[in-house]
Amino acid sequence: MKGLVPIVAAMALLGAVPVATSSNVVLNFLVVALLIALVGQGWNLLGGYGGQYSFGHAAFFGTGAYVTAILQVRYGVNAWLGFAAGIAAGALVGAVIGALSFRSGLKGSYFALVTLAFAEVLRIVASVAPITGAGVGTLVKLDLRSEAFQFQSRAPYYWIALCLVGVSLMLVRAIEGSRFGAYLVAVRENEDAAQALGVNTTLVKLVAMTISAAIAATGGCFYVQYFLFVDAGIAYGPWISIEALLVPIVGGVGMVFGPLLGALVVKTLGELAKLVTGDAPGLDLVIYGCVLIAVVSVAPRGVAGVVLVLHRRIQALRIAPPPASERRDG
C-alpha cells in the first residue's frame, strides 16, 4: 500500500495542471510527454525489469495505432472499442515476436536487433499495404463527441493520458511486489541461476513482453485519437522505439517512476533545444544523443536513481549522526 502513495500524489499533482492553466501549449506539451512516458513504461517493464533491451517497441505502438484507426475508418467500429482492440492487437504482436525470439534463445544485442528488424518490416509493409492507406496514411474523421473518443478541448485528452500513465504506474508497481516481478528481475540478473531455482525463464520473458507490448500499444491507440492521423513513419518508425528506451534510461531504468521522470526531462530538453537551435531540423536529436551519453556515463540509474541516493543520504542524516550513518544496515 505504501508504494501507492507516491503514485497517487504524482497523479494528483499532475491532474491539477489543467485547473491551473488552460494554455494549449502547456497541455499539448504534457500530453505528448505523458504519451511517451506510457510507451516508455512499457519498454521499462521488459527492458528495465526483465533486462531484455528491445529496439523495436514501434512494432507494438504502431500496431495499436493502426488497428484503432483502421477499425474506425474502414469498419466503422466505435473508437473506444477500436482503442481496446488496438491494445489487444499490440499485445498479440508482442507475444508472437516474443515467442519467436525467446524460444530461439535470442539475448542481448541479438534480441535488440531482431526487434528492430520486426519493427522495420512492419513499417515497410505498412507503407505499401492498401489497408493502412500505404504512403498516404490513415486519417480519422473529425467527430468531436466523447463517444467517438474526441474532445473539444485539450483537458480531457490530458486527463485520459494521465489516467493511462497512472494505471501503468500502478500495474508496474504491483508487478514489482509480486512473485512474477521477482522472477523477472532474477531473469535480468542471471538466467541460468533463475532456471536452477525453478523459474521458467522463457515463459516469464514472454509474459513480460506481452504486457510491455500492450502498454506500448495503448500509447499508439491514444496517439491516433489525439492526432487523428497515422502513417507508416509515425506508427512503425524508429523515432518511437528510441523514445521508448530513451525516457526510462534517462529517468531511471527498472524503476517505477523512471519513464515519467525521463519523459518530462527529455521533452523539456527537447523543447529547449528547439528554442535554441531554431529550425535546424535534427539538431534536437543530436542533443538527445548527448543527453543519453551523459546519463549513461554519469548517472546510470537515471534521474530517479539520483533522487533515490539523495533521499537515502538525507534519511541517513536524520536517523543517525553522519559518522554512524554507514553502519545503518548492519
Partner 1 sequence: MAEPLLRVEQVSKRFGGLLALDRVSFIAQPGRIVALIGPNGAGKTTLFSIIAGCLPASEGRIVYDGDPIDGERPYQLARRGIARTFQIAQPFAGLTVHENIAVGAHLSRPARREALAAAAAIAREVGLGDLLDRPAATLTVAGRKRLELARALATGPRLLLLDEVLAGLNPTEIHDMLPVIRAICSRGVTIVMIEHVMQAVMCLAEHVFVLSEGRVIAEGPPQAIVTDPLVVEAYLGRGAAHRMVAAGTGHA
| Binding footprint of partner 1 on the chain (CB under 8 A) | 177-179, 182-183, 185-186, 188-190, 192-201, 329-330
- Least Cβ distance, residue 140 to partner 1 (angstroms): 43
- From first CA to last CA, the distance across the chain in angstroms is 27
Nearer to partner 1, 153 or 315 (CB): 315
Closest to partner 1 by CB, 180 vs 229, is 180
Smallest distance from the beta carbon of 207 to partner 1, in angstroms? 14
Place of cell 523495436: 56
DSSP secondary structure, 266-318, as one string: HHHHHHHHHHHHTT-TTHHHHHHHHHHHHHHHH-TTHHHHHHHHHHHHHHHHH
Of 298, 287, 261, 312, the C-alpha closest to 48 is 261
| Closer residue to partner 1, CB minimum distance, 141 or 179 | 179
**For partner 1, the closer CB: 81 or 309:** 309
In one-letter notation, the amino acid at residue 82 is: G
CB closer to partner 1 out of 137 and 254: 254
Q: What one-character DSSP code corresponds to residue 253?
A: T
> Is the sign of the CA dihedral 244, 246, 249, 255 positive or negative?
negative
8 A C-beta contact, residue 30 and residue 14: yes
Of 166 and 254, the one with the shorter C-beta distance to partner 1 is 254
C-beta of 108 vs 177, nearer to partner 1 = 177
Q: Which is nearer to partner 1, 86 or 181 (CB)?
A: 181
